Amino acid sequence: MTDLVKMTATEVVGLLKDGKVSPRELLDTSEARIKETDDAVNAMPTLCFDRARAHAARLEKENPSERPDLHLHGLPIAIKDLTPVKDVRFTSGSPIFADRVADFSDVMVERLEERGGIVVGKSNTPEFGAGGQTFNEVFGTTTNPWNTERTPGGSSGGAASALAAGQVWLAQGSDLGGSLRTPASFTGIVGLRPSPKRIAHGPLGLPFSTYPVEGPMARNVPDAALFLDVMAGSHILDPSSLPAPETTYVDSLKDIPKFGRIAYSPDLGQCPVDPEVADICARAAEDFARYCRGVEEACPDLHDAEEIFQTLRAQIFIANHAPLLSEHREKLKPEVIWNIEKGAKLNADDIGAAQRAQGNLYQRVVAFFSEYDFLLTPTSIVPAFPHKLRYIEEVNGVKFDNYMSWLALPSMLTVTNCPVISIPCGYTKSGLPVGLQIMGPNAREDRVLQAAYVFERDHDYASRVPINPITPA
C-alpha cells in the first residue's frame, strides 16, 4: 500500500493500463489510507466506496487497449462537496443541505467517470465555498497534513489535504477567488485555475458566469496536465464552454521552448505580503532566469482589480443565494450573509461600472502579455495559519475591512480571465509550504503548465508529498 500511495497519478495510471494493478486494489489502498489519516485531517468526510467498487467492477470487464487515450483506467479521485455526484451526499458545507443526496451528477463528473476516474468520496469545503479556510457546521474543520494545527486553506481545502496526505492521486477543485490556488500553496501541491469555460460543468443556475471555474489539483505538474486533459472539453449544458485543445496538455510538456521575458511582482502593486513568503517567492522568481531571456519586476495595472472582484463576486452571491438568506438566515455563516447582503446593495450602475472596468483591465493585461510571457507572484500573502482563525485580519500592520481582502493576490488575477497555476516553491523556517502563482495569456493553459514544469523539474518540492499528517507535540 505504501508504495502505491507514494506513486504519482501518471505512474499509477500506467500500471492500471498495463494490468499490473487493478482498480479494486487501488480502491482498497485509498480506503486504507483514508482510514489511516483522516482522523487527523478530516479531508474526506463523505465516502462512497460501495458505489466506487461497482464502478470498478464495470471497468474491469473492459479491455484497456480499446479505451481512448484520455482515460484514467480506474484511478480513485475525489470530488469537492460543491459538486453533485449521483446518489452521494451533497451538502455544499451547509446545514441547510446537511441531508441532501444528489439525484444527478454534474456533467464534469460524468465525463470523469466515463474516462475512467472512480469517485471515492467528497472532499470537505466551507459553506458554499465562501472563505479561504475549510470549516463548516456539518463536518467540522479540515486540517493541514504539514501541521494539523494549521489550515489547508479553502475552499478546496479538503481536496488539497486529501492529496497531500496521500488519500487519492487526483482531486477536483474549484476556484473563484483563489479557492483552488490558496490550498495548493498551503499544502505543497499543484492547483491550476484554467481559463473560464475550459472545463465544462453544469447544469448551473448561472450558466453564463465566467468567474467560478473547475480545475485540477495534483501532487505534481504532469499529473495536473493529465487530469486537465481528462476534464477539458465543451458540453451543451455549459454555454460557451471550450473544446479540448488539439495537442494534449501532457504532450505539451514533452518539448518546452525557452521563454521570452518573464515578469515578477512581489505584491501586484498593492498587497501586504509576509516577509518570509516574499523572500521565498523572490528567490523562486530569480530561478526562472535560466528558462527565459530575463526576469524583470513588472506587473500589469491592476489598481482596480480587487474592487472589480468584490463587486462581481457579490453579484454572483446575490444571484445564487438570495432565497437562502430570506428562508434560512439563521443557518448561514456570517461571511455568506455578508456577501449576499453586499450583493443586495448593488445597483445597475455599480455592476455596469465593474464590468466596464474589467473590460479595460483585460485590455491592459493583453498589452502586458505582448511584452512578457508570464507573470509570477506569490499565491498567498501568508503561509498556512492556525485553523482556529476564521480568516486573516492583518498583515504587516495593514488591517483588512472584510474577510476576503487577505485573498487579494489570487482574486485579483481571477479578474483577468487568464489561466493561473500555483506550484510549491519553498518552505518557511517552520516547515510550511509556500506557493508561487504563474499566470499566462488567456486560454494558454499549455504554456502555464510548461512554465510550472520546467521549474518543478529542477526542484524537489513535488517529491515531498504525500506526507503523513504531522501533529505538533
Residues annotated as part of the active site: 80, 155, 179
Strand partners, 435: 424
Using an 8 Å Cβ cutoff, are 181 and 435 in contact? yes
Q: How do beta strands 433-439 and 420-427 pair?
A: antiparallel
For residue 239, cis peptide bond before it (omega within 30 degrees of 0): no
CB 367 within 8 A of CB 416: no
Helix then strand count (H, E) for the chain reads 15, 15
Strand ranges in 185-225 using DSSP code E only, listed in sequence order: 190-193, 213-218
Angle at 187 between CA 185 and CA 192, to 5 degrees: 50
Peptide bond connecting 466 to the previous residue in cis, omega within 30 degrees of 0: yes
Q: Please report, for residues 42, 261, 265, 295, 346, the alpha-carbon distance to residue 374 in angstroms, rounded to integers and kept in the order given.
A: 36, 8, 11, 10, 34
**Alpha carbon 20 to chain centroid, angstroms:** 31
Residue 41 in 3-state DSSP? helix
Instruction: Specify the 3-state DSSP secondary structure of 290.
Output: helix
Q: Among 268, 265, 254, which Cα is nearest to 306's?
A: 268
Can you state the percent helix, strand and coil of the chain, rounding each to 5?
40, 15, 40
